[in-house]
């Protein structure tokens, strides 16, 4: 079962979901969200704080919260957990051994 199908079952009375995207800096979180939004990915800067992208998928709105992965920002990740419907935790293959 895909993530979207699972969210639809969990949120059957709602047509949108909040998804938190976390991972280390330079792990590709922003790149993935920009690709999903069909945006240019040739000049991506490190996320300072957070970015929010809203995607429409089959009539379902996904509010994707891309949180910066720098070491100084990680202690604040927990502030974004409330009212989050799903968590996407990413790690670049090159950095998996150093993931904290």
**CATH for 26:** 3.40.50.300
Task: Tell me whether residue 85 is in a domain.
Answer: yes
1-39 confidence digits (pLDDT tens): 477 777 777 777 788 999 999 999 989 999 999 998 999
Q: Is the pLDDT of residue 79 over 70?
A: yes
Q: Name the 3-class secondary structure at 43.
A: coil
Strands 60-67 vs 16-23: parallel, antiparallel or unpaired: parallel
Domain count across the chain: 1
Distance CA 41, CA 68 (A): 17
Q: Considering the candidates 48, 56, 70, 83, report the single residue annotated as catalytic.
A: 70
Judge whether 24 is annotated as a binding position: yes
How far apart, in Å, are the Cα atoms of 27 and each of 5, 13, 46, 61, 74?
26, 34, 10, 24, 14
Q: Kindly report the pTM of this predicted structure.
A: 0.79
Residue 28 in tokens: 């590709």
Q: Using 50, 70 and 90 to split pLDDT, how confident is the model at 60?
A: confident
Judge whether 7 is annotated as a binding position: no
Q: Name the 3-class secondary structure at 59.
A: coil
Question: What pLDDT is stored for residue 50 in this prediction?
Answer: 94
**Catalytic residue status for 70:** yes
Question: What pLDDT is stored for residue 97 in this prediction?
Answer: 54
Task: Tell me whether residue 5 is in a domain.
Answer: no
Distance CA 16, CA 28 (A): 24
Task: Tell me whether residue 44 is in a domain.
Answer: yes
Whole domain around residue 72: which residue ranges? 14-94
Task: Tell me whether residue 69 is in a domain.
Answer: yes
Judge whether 23 is annotated as a binding position: yes
Residue 63 in tokens: 């509010």
The whole-number average pLDDT for the span 37-47 is: 92
**Among residues 16, 100, 99, which one has the least CA distance to residue 62?**
16
């Amino acid at each position: 079962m895909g993530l979207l199908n699972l969210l639809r079952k969990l949120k059957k009375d709602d047509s949108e979901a909040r998804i938190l995207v976390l991972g280390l800096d330079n792990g590709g979180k922003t790149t993935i969200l920009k690709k999903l939004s069909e945006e240019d990915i040739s000049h991506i800067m490190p996320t300072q704080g957070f970015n929010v992208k809203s995607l429409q998928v089959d009539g379902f709105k996904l509010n994707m919260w891309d949180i910066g992965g720098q070491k100084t920002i990680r202690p604040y990740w927990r502030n974004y957990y409330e009212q989050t419907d799903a968590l996407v935790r990413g790690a670049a293959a090159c950095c998996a051994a150093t993931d904290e």
